[in-house]
Amino acid sequence: MTNPLLVLADHAATWRARPLEAEVAHHARRALVDWFAALLAGAWREPATLMSAALEDETRGGGGAVCYVTGRRVPVRHAALLNGTASHTVEFDDIYRYAVYHPGCPTIAAALAAAQARGTDMEALLRAMAAGYEVSCRIGLAVQPSHYNFWHTTGTVGTFGAAASVAVLLDCDATRTAHAIATAATMAGGLQQAFRGEGMSKPLHPGHAAEAGALAAMAAAKGMTGALDVLHGPAGFAAATSEDTGKWDKSLAKIGQPFAITDMTFKNHGCCGHIFAALDAVRDLHLEVGFKPEDVVSIAVGGYKATKDVCDRPTAQTEQDCRFSTQFTVATMLLHGGVRLAAFEPARLSDPAIRALMGKVTVALDAECAAAFPAKRSAKVAITLKDGRVLNRHQHTRKGDPDAPLTDQDLSDKFLELTSDAVGAAQAKALLAQLWEGSALPGIVPLVANQARAAE
């Protein structure tokens, strides 16, 4: 068997100098715009602010990377950790659906920190991102779908995206890139149970992945070695986290066909992506038929395994819990027409109308939807009305998936919506223009909350 780690490392190393095709560069910028939208929306919220406070004494020496939580220059690992955490907090981050994975949070957090510290330009960052997405998404393909039974892919596989992207920026050759990926493997982690209920640790998964991957690449660049059979060996990553030693022939055959970064899902709702198909179906039926929420007797949602296992939460209470509740988000969609940042404000979380409608929503496993996962994220919705009508919709895909993509304008609108309150409308527009067109890397973008505290 060909060693998959060496194949992936060889590929990653080519991104140091290969021509950056216009299409790939454009899709990488789309991913960067989307990541910053999620990052800045989460940077002033817990748990990133709590983690920043916990690490305060460790960051007084400064550094070359930007921590967007504090608006300070800090060491690479610190920026990767906090920015990666913040970018996963409001659940608006990108998805590679075939691997059940959010590559942007760990990969971009690590790559941007390293690029800023190295003083590189935008093209170098985009190259590194493309390499990190490709390596980690292919590893994700090799271990899914069974990996997702217990592991949070963004925390585990994300470590490889961070390592590969930083290795490119550190100009590691294929050998040192291989050792970066190998060392990253033994630091990968992130348990599903961390977000099956309450608690703040889920956003830490990509933050830890970004930091660990960056460390692995930095160490490899100085000569540290790892076990080069760690992905496919009998006690390696795939064997430990999936049902076999990896579907490597399948995943390696897909390198660059197309490049993973050109085949991304960008979220249209601020919650778990396993609910999206149901939300799209409910929204469309509501708009087409024009019934009122009070006309609803019941809403039955049929989905794939993760929809049932992760998102069937009829009594969700906290913000984190409600972002993973089909019941809460479906009720919110019907009553308010969308599931965006406002959906999880305290008044909404305790809204009696939402709570009443939640009791009418049920979730079940649907065999057809389960068979289509993970290539298709589908749902079947049946809405029973008081007049006896039953409205049915089989939603085969989600708005934002590659086959129903958000446009560049959609992404820009999403960016401004999520960031304007965090950094101010004028600064948000200026940053957006730089991300779409600029050749220089973004620098410090002060949060409104931090500016207000500094003025006190």
Q: DSSP per residue over 246-314, as a string? A: --HHHHHHTTTTT-GGGS-B--SSSS-GGGHHHHHHHHHHHHHH---GGGEEEEEEEE-HHHHHHH--T
Instruction: Identify the pLDDT of residue 128.
Output: 98
Same domain as 303, residue 257: no
Same domain as 388, residue 366: yes
Note whether residue 342 is domain-resident: yes
Same domain as 327, residue 248: no
CATH of the domain at 330: 3.30.1330.120
pLDDT of 310 over the 60 cut: yes
Domain count, the chain: 2
**201-221 pLDDT per residue, tens:** 999 999 999 999 999 999 999
Same domain as 289, residue 237: no
- The percent of residues above 70 in pLDDT, for the chain, comes to 98
CB 212 within 8 A of CB 184: yes
Note whether residue 414 is domain-resident: no
Q: Compute the distance between CA of residue 38 and CA of residue 107 in angstroms, rounded to an integer.
A: 14
- Domain stops at, among 395, 426, 442: 395
Same domain as 298, residue 255: no
Same domain as 249, residue 100: yes
- The percent of residues above 90 in pLDDT, for the chain, comes to 94
Higher per-residue confidence, 451 vs 181: 181
* Segment holding 390, helix H or strand E: strand 390-395
Same domain as 375, residue 250: no
Q: What is the 3-state secondary structure (H, E, C) of 157-219?
A: CHHHHHHHHHHHHCCCCHHHHHHHHHHHHCCCCCEHHHHCCCCCCCCHHHHHHHHHHHHHHHH
Same domain as 143, residue 27: yes
- Domain stops at, among 243, 262, 281: 262
Note whether residue 435 is domain-resident: no
**391-437 pLDDT per residue, tens:** 999 999 999 999 999 999 999 999 999 999 999 999 999 999 999 99
Note whether residue 40 is domain-resident: yes
pLDDT of 315 over the 60 cut: yes
Instruction: Identify the pLDDT of residue 198.
Output: 81
pLDDT of 57 over the 90 cut: no
Same domain as 242, residue 290: no
Taking 3-state DSSP, the helix, strand and coil percentages for the chain, each rounded to the nearest 5, stand at: 55, 10, 35
Query: How crowded is residue 440: how many other Cβ atoms within 10 Å of its Cβ?
Result: 9
> How does the average pLDDT of the chain come out, rounded?
96
Q: Compute the distance between CA of residue 439 and CA of residue 158 in angstroms, rounded to an integer.
A: 26
Record the pTM.
0.95
pLDDT of 456 over the 60 cut: no
- Could you tell me the sign of the dihedral formed by the alpha carbons of 347, 87, 97, 32, in that order? positive
Instruction: Identify the pLDDT of residue 305.
Output: 95
Instruction: Identify the pLDDT of residue 454.
Output: 62
Q: Compute the distance between CA of residue 94 and CA of residue 169 in angstroms, rounded to an integer.
A: 22
Query: How crowded is residue 95: how many other Cβ atoms within 10 Å of its Cβ?
Result: 22
Instruction: Identify the pLDDT of residue 450.
Output: 78
**243-262 pLDDT per residue, tens:** 989 999 999 998 988 999 99
* Residue 451 pLDDT level (bands cut at 50, 70, 90): confident
Instruction: Identify the pLDDT of residue 197.
Output: 80
The string of DSSP letters for 138-150 reads HHHHHHTTGGGGT
* Residue 58 pLDDT level (bands cut at 50, 70, 90): confident
CATH of the domain at 110: 1.10.4100.10
Q: Compute the distance between CA of residue 130 and CA of residue 165 in angstroms, rounded to an integer.
A: 8
Same domain as 311, residue 214: no
**13-26 pLDDT per residue, tens:** 999 999 999 999 99
pLDDT of 452 over the 70 cut: no
Note whether residue 421 is domain-resident: no
**274-283 pLDDT per residue, tens:** 999 999 999 9
pLDDT of 86 over the 70 cut: yes
Question: What single-letter amino acid sits at 208?
Answer: H
Q: In the beta sheet, which residues pair with residue 67?
A: 72
Note whether residue 415 is domain-resident: no
- Domain stops at, among 347, 374, 395: 395
Instruction: Identify the pLDDT of residue 59.
Output: 67
Q: Compute the distance between CA of residue 19 and CA of residue 30 in angstroms, rounded to an integer.
A: 19
Note whether residue 455 is domain-resident: no
Q: What are the angstrom distances between the C-alpha of 248 and each of 131, 233, 253?
A: 18, 12, 8
Domain containing residue 326: 273-395
Note whether residue 290 is domain-resident: yes
Same domain as 278, residue 256: no
Same domain as 283, residue 232: no
